[in-house]
Structure formats: C-alpha cells, structure tokens
Amino acid sequence: MIDIKKKKMYKLYYLRINEKKDRQGLVSELNKFYDKNFLIIPEAEILKITSQMEIEKEKGIALNRTLKENLFTCFTCIDNTVPIIIVGKPGTGKSLSFQILFNTLKGESSKTQFFRERGKLYRYYYQGSETSTSEGIKKVFEKAHKAKKDNKEKNNNNINLVFFDEMGLAERSSNNPLKIIHFLLEKDEENSVPFLGISNWRLDAAKINRALNLSITDYDVQDLEDTAIAIAKAYDSNIANTYEDFFTLLLERIVIIFN
C-alpha cells in the first residue's frame, strides 16, 4: 500500500516505469488517493510543455506517447540540471527529441514566452565510439562548464548542455571511458552542467547511476496505431479521421504476421 504522505513523489517515477502493466498498477494505487484519475496530472503537464515546442509537423513527425514522454522528461531534466540518459532501439525518437528541444530553446527567438524565459540551448557534443577515452569526455564537460561561467559573468541564462551520443559504443571501448561519468555528474550545482546521453542498448548501471534513466520499450499495437494516426494528422487531419479504422485493421494484421 502506498503511503499517502509520499503520493507526490510517485509522480516523478511514473515515466520511469517501462512496462504498461506496471504503470497501470501504480495508477490503480494512486487513484485511491486522488479525487480524479491520476493520469490526468502527468498527461496535462506533458501536453502543456510539448504543445509549445517547435515540431515540424509537415515532415510527418508523430507526436506519439513515446516522443511526448521523451520531450517532457528531457526538458524537465535539462531545465533543472538533472542528468538524463535515454535508452531505446533505433527509431524510438532519442535523437529526434534532442533536435526538437534544440529547435525550441532559442532564447529570445523562441516562439513562446515560456521558452523565451529558459534561455538559448547550446550543445557540446561527444560522439561515443569503441575508441572513446575518459580524457575526451572530460574535455567536453570542461568546455561546457567554461561556457557556463562565461554566461554567468555576462548575466545571461543560456543553457550549456553536454550531449553524449552512442554511449553504448563508448561502453565497449577497452579504455573504459564511462568510469569518469560518476565524477563528472556528481558535482554540485555550481560546478555541474546539464547532461543528456543516449544509447541503443542498456548500459552498466554501476557506471551511469548518477543520472535519471529513461528506457523506451517496444511499441505495442496501440502505440503503433496512435503513431500512424499522429503521422496522418501531421499531413492532413481529414486523412487521419477518414482512415482511422483502416490503420487499426492494418496494424492488427501486421502484428499477426510478425508473431
């Protein structure tokens, strides 16, 4: 049974639960303490943030459940200097989430007042590989921290983010480069910078447990259906409404074939 005194903290963990059945179990317990469906709370917050982001819908980008959760979690962590690592197979929107954030957080040039107040996002990029070294990772953090100090002296609120791509490849390096991640991420607020890492597969927990880990699970039929409809809406809402039943039937057939 969930302690009612701790019910607020469970909002933080909802998005970290991977399996839908486990999420539903948590929601069932939390609904005993709320006068409305608990899901209304996180979903409203997610929609409030993601609806203001600059998403190029004309390119057919589907703002589905996974992408919305990625965007919301990444933005919240970056805005609060909480390191985050996203793990998921190729095609689950990891790099896309960052690109949307990068296009949205443009300081005074941002389209909405909410994001104008957050400052401009600057990326300090590190490409993970099987030849990665701790020294190379450290240098990227040092550049980002120096930029942060310069911003403070100029009294601006720009965001200096370390973006670590392909952390999984770096973990395979014989140089054991991820051993320095603990040291770099456990600094106090004054000496830390926002961090976003992405990987195609699960990492060694002992190396990355200083960050919030968001794992993206495989899509089920409902996720695929929602994604198909979202893509159709990005092109033409009439198409989505007209062929919604067709998408449902098609996806059911695909699942049968591949199972």
How do residues 31-58 score in pLDDT, each as one tens digit? 888 777 888 888 888 889 999 998 876 5
Percent residues over pLDDT 70 in the chain:
90
Q: Is 205 exposed, middle or buried (0-12, 13-18, 19+ CB in 10 A)?
A: exposed
Note whether 251 and 228 are within 8 A (CB): yes
**In CATH, which of 3.40.190.10, 3.40.50.300, 3.30.70.20, 1.10.3720.10 is domain 68-216?**
3.40.50.300
Domain boundaries, the chain: 68-216, 219-259
Choose among 120, 126, 187: nearest CA to 160.
120
145-198 pLDDT per residue, tens: 999 999 888 888 899 999 999 999 999 999 999 999 989 998 888 889 999 999
Diameter of the chain by CA atoms?
Answer: 61
Rg (CA), the chain: 20
- Measured between alpha carbons, how far apart are the two ends of the chain, in Å? 37
Note whether 125 and 141 are within 8 A (CB): no
Predicted pLDDT at 198: 96
Average pLDDT, the chain: 84
